[in-house]
Amino acid sequence: MSSVPGTKLFYWAQEGYLHVNWPDPMPVVLYPSIDEILPVDRIDTLANRLENFIAEKFVSIPGVEYVFLSLENDSVDVWTIINKLDKEIRKKIYDVEYDILGIIIGFHFDFHVICRNDRSIEELYPSNAKMIFKK
């Protein structure tokens, strides 16, 4: 991206090998008002962004009651909870999952759709996951 003098500040992101022992590029954000590269922590900051991004993708689907996320290294598990088996809702969920796979690169996703069938969410709650969306 670029900026015209007098307009809002801008930033751009890139990936770079910041340490010779890191097998993968680490995302960094470059700020034009700062003369240094600020590393983005892959676990904390990106996890928060990932949670928000995924939650926002599912919020518009009627019938989705909860979304849980588990992040371990570069592996992401996403559990989408609906109450009753509904092919149209599941199709919308699968479309969102496909979109996420096309947008977010560098993670291994495992998606799960769980029909609650009027059971309490406590019976279905994945123990190693964080609730990122509740309708």
Q: What is the CATH number of domain 44-134?
A: 3.30.70.1350
% of the chain with per-residue pLDDT over 70: 64
**What helix, strand, coil percent values describe the chain, rounded to 5?**
25, 30, 40
SS3 at position 128: coil
Q: Are 121 and 67 in contact (CB under 8 A)?
A: no
Mention every residue, 6+ apart, whose C-beta is less than 8 A from residue 119: none
User: What mean pLDDT value characterizes the chain?
Assistant: 75
Q: What is the identity of the amino acid at 67? A: V
- What is the per-residue pLDDT for 25? 53
Residue 5 above 70 pLDDT? no
Q: CA 122, CA 131: separation in Å to the nearest integer?
A: 12
Give the global pTM: 0.64
Residue 81 above 70 pLDDT? yes
Query: CATH 3.30.70.1350 residue ranges in the chain?
Result: 44-134
Closest listed residue to residue 115, CA positions, set 134, 77, 89: 89
Q: Are 117 and 83 in contact (CB under 8 A)?
A: yes
Which tens digit of pLDDT belongs to each residue from 16-53?
444 444 455 555 444 344 444 434 444 445 567 788 88
% of the chain with per-residue pLDDT over 90: 44
- Segment 107-112 shows an average pLDDT of 92
More confident residue, 76 or 34: 76
